[in-house]
Amino acid sequence: MDFTLLKSFIAVAEEKSFSSAAKNLFISQQTLSKQVAKLEEDLDTTLFIRSRPLGLTPDGGRLLPIAKEILQLKQQFEESSSKSFSGAHYIHLGIEHTIARAILPRVLPQFLSDHPDTFVRLSEESPDVMQKSISYEGVDLVIGSLGSVPDKFEAIPLCRKEHLLVVPKRIMRELAGDQLEELTESFSQSADLSFFEAAPFIRIPRQSSGGRALASYLKYYDISPRFVCELTNIENAFQLANSGIGVFIYAKVFWDMLSPELQADYRKSIDIFPLPYLPDIEDVCAYYNRDAGISGVTQELFEAVRAFFEAYKAEKP
């Protein structure tokens, strides 16, 4: 059996909408409709009452718990098969790309050293994908940003996301002119983003946590800068700012994870100014499906991540 068809069926049944389910699965609605039609053909039955809202037929209602159980058994088998070569315990961790770069090298080596019989599977995705992965991909725990908390999620805040303004020195000189030293000193305490409205900006898409943070700051300062490019990868955007292309807003936690030597090297070409903390910006948190919960080595990994952030908050500049 094609397990993708079951996953698609469950998504439509839970969302009661082909369009919403397609967005959650990150496929087109046409592809999703074909998958459900194929499943109905394979089973020789009709699974949905095509109405508004979408409903399940009696056969669809009978299939839903069975489909969930099949996928759960599939996951258990995959975890069991992993144990044969990786140890007695298995964790499927979801984590945002940039957060992974910041914390995994500081947490995972020690954790695996303390748990030599544990295998960790990592899924590095955007926040939107991670939220869906708990429901449809068997992820045990996610470390990342979370806006609103769905009813079925348990979310534990780990660290609030403060942000920095990354300004190429060339752009700072052009904007400040004779006031360069005075303004650089002033902005080293807190940057006034409105001063930079005439500068070229680098944009991150709104569906990402970095993009939503950027939108919050633009709204707070009531400015509409000119964007010269857009990237989905925050680290690539930071490197473009470092190359002098434009101004960029960057999470402080990511900057703080860089070595002092690397920070000093970057400061040769960019200025780093703190921005005021905005409470509507998403925190870094850990979250999981409340019904499934977390326990065992997954709970221990969560505690290791939480201890890392507690130490960071206590020591951060």
CATH 3.40.190.10 fits 163-274, yes or no: yes
pLDDT, residue 152, reads 79
Give the type of residue at 212. R
pLDDT, residue 71, reads 77
87-113: pLDDT as tens digits: 568 888 989 887 888 889 999 999 999
C-alpha triplet 27, 81, 72: angle, nearest 5°: 50
228-244: pLDDT as tens digits: 999 988 899 999 999 99
**Residues 152-162, mean pLDDT to the nearest whole number:** 88
Q: Which residue has the higher pLDDT, 286 or 130?
A: 286
Q: Which CATH number fits domain 88-157+285-315: 3.30.420.40, 3.40.50.620, 3.40.190.10, 3.20.20.70?
A: 3.40.190.10
**5 burial class (0-12, 13-18, 19+ CB within 10 angstroms)?**
buried
- Quick one: pLDDT band at residue 85, thresholds 50, 70, 90? very low
Domains 3-68 and 163-274 are alike in CATH topology: no
Closest by alpha carbon to 273, among 161, 139, 151, 168? 168
Q: Which string of DSSP letters, residue by residue, matches 270-312?
A: EEEEE----TTSPPEEEEEETTT---HHHHHHHHHHHHHHHHH
Lowest mean pLDDT among 81-90, 156-165, 214-223, 247-256: 81-90
Q: Is the dihedral of CA 223, 224, 229, 234 positive or negative?
A: positive
36-68: pLDDT as tens digits: 998 999 899 999 998 878 899 999 999 998 888
Cα–Cα dist 206/235, whole Å: 16
Fold of 3-68: Arc Repressor Mutant, subunit A (1.10.10)
Residue 262 per-residue DSSP state:
H
pLDDT, residue 1, reads 62
* Alpha-carbon distance values, 147 to 142, 205, 223, 280, 283 (Å): 14, 15, 23, 9, 8
**Residues 17-28, mean pLDDT to the nearest whole number:** 80
293-304: pLDDT as tens digits: 888 889 999 999
User: Is the Cβ–Cβ distance between 161 and 253 less than 8 Å?
Assistant: yes
Tell me the two tokens of residue 51: 């109405």
Q: Which string of DSSP letters, residue by residue, matches 81-109?
A: HHHHHH-SEEEEEEEEHHHHHHHHHHHHH
- Quick one: pLDDT band at residue 83, thresholds 50, 70, 90? very low
Could you tell me the residue ranges of all domains in the chain? 3-68, 88-157+285-315, 163-274
Backbone φ, ψ for residue 289 (5° rounding): -75, 120
Give the type of residue at 268. K
Average pLDDT, the chain: 87
Closest by alpha carbon to 72, among 287, 300, 289? 289
166-202: pLDDT as tens digits: 999 999 999 999 999 999 999 999 999 999 999 999 9
